[in-house]
Amino acid sequence: MSATPLSPLRPAAGAAARRGELAAFLRLRRERLAPQDVGLPVGPRRRTPGLRREEVAERAGVGVAWYTWLEQGRPINPSMQVLDAIARALLLEPAERAHLHRLADVPGAATAAPAPAGPPPGEHTLQTILDALNPLPAGLVGARYDVLAFNDAYAALDPRIELLPPAERNVLWRLFTADEESRPLVDWEREVSVMLGHLRNEFGRRLQDPQWQAYIRRLAEASPLFAEMWARHDVAAPAAHRKTFRAVDGRRVTIVATGFTRTEAPDAKLWIYTPADADAARVLDELLARYREVGAAGLLAGAADPARPGGRTAAAHRPVREAAGQPPEVSSSASSPTPAQS
């Protein structure tokens, strides 16, 4: 009897999928390196993009046939020493090296922590913590970029998020499917490239997770650009970074995004945005004050018609910030992801 689409992969099928990911990752990392990157002459005729397989094998000190089998996804079991030699040959970053170890199924390589059976202790305090961080925008974001909880300042920076049902607040779905005018990020391509590197890093820990498989498949079907960028197999580790938002009134706000992991919810990160300069701090304060005066819909309406008077009071508009009965590290948006803020 055939398995349903959401059933876990059988061990053999799961191993084949993992080897396929490993093969694609090695090939793409090899093709991105130019000969001069590793001190090799360019030569007059190079029909292969990047390095040749034999050049990687020589740099790593392994046989050409053996390395070729790895790129072909054959069932071989490289040692940690061999993988590290290949990582050095391909000039892999630390996050890429860890990803390589996971794809090769190295014993002890970090994988995703199992989801807890119920809400972690102290979960009711999360919104209190987020609210206390105002006027700094802050939100809890899952590994698939589901926005799970947030404060007023976060919503004021991108009020469209509040108007969505909790299960439909997904950053990447928003960035890849929304019209350009409603995208909150100024440097779109750079930001989504970083996010996809993080997503690929997390996906490497969950290759056999049917919810993750469904999420990637649906997003690839909805956005050919996502499918194209996802096929690059870029990997990155989360780190503090600057990004610039376009507020609903057209002003630009540059912030520094810093992520923190909660012990009881390791699959989600608490992202806090600090203003990059005094102008950014002033704009964030003004957006927050206006948001508390007119609410998300009022902010959006005011952007379209500045003469329009304000709407609901802060008490009347205050949103439900988390899906009822659902812990922050668990989200149902894999089946129906839609917009959210980064």
Residue with tokens 């996050």, as numbered in its chain: 95
- Residue pair 340/146 in contact (Cβ under 8 Å)? The answer is yes
Judged against a pLDDT cut of 90, whether residue 271 lies above it is answered with: yes
pLDDT tens column, 279-311 = 999 999 999 999 999 998 998 887 765 444 433
Q: What is residue 223's predicted lDDT score, i.e. its pLDDT?
A: 94
- Residue pair 268/260 in contact (Cβ under 8 Å)? The answer is no
Read off the amino acid at residue 168: E
pLDDT tens column, 194-216 = 999 999 989 988 888 888 989 99
Better pLDDT: 145 or 326: 145
- Phi, psi for 329 (deg, rounded to 5): -80, 0
| Mean pLDDT, residues 298-326 | 51
- Phi, psi for 119 (deg, rounded to 5): -60, 135
- Residue pair 306/292 in contact (Cβ under 8 Å)? The answer is no
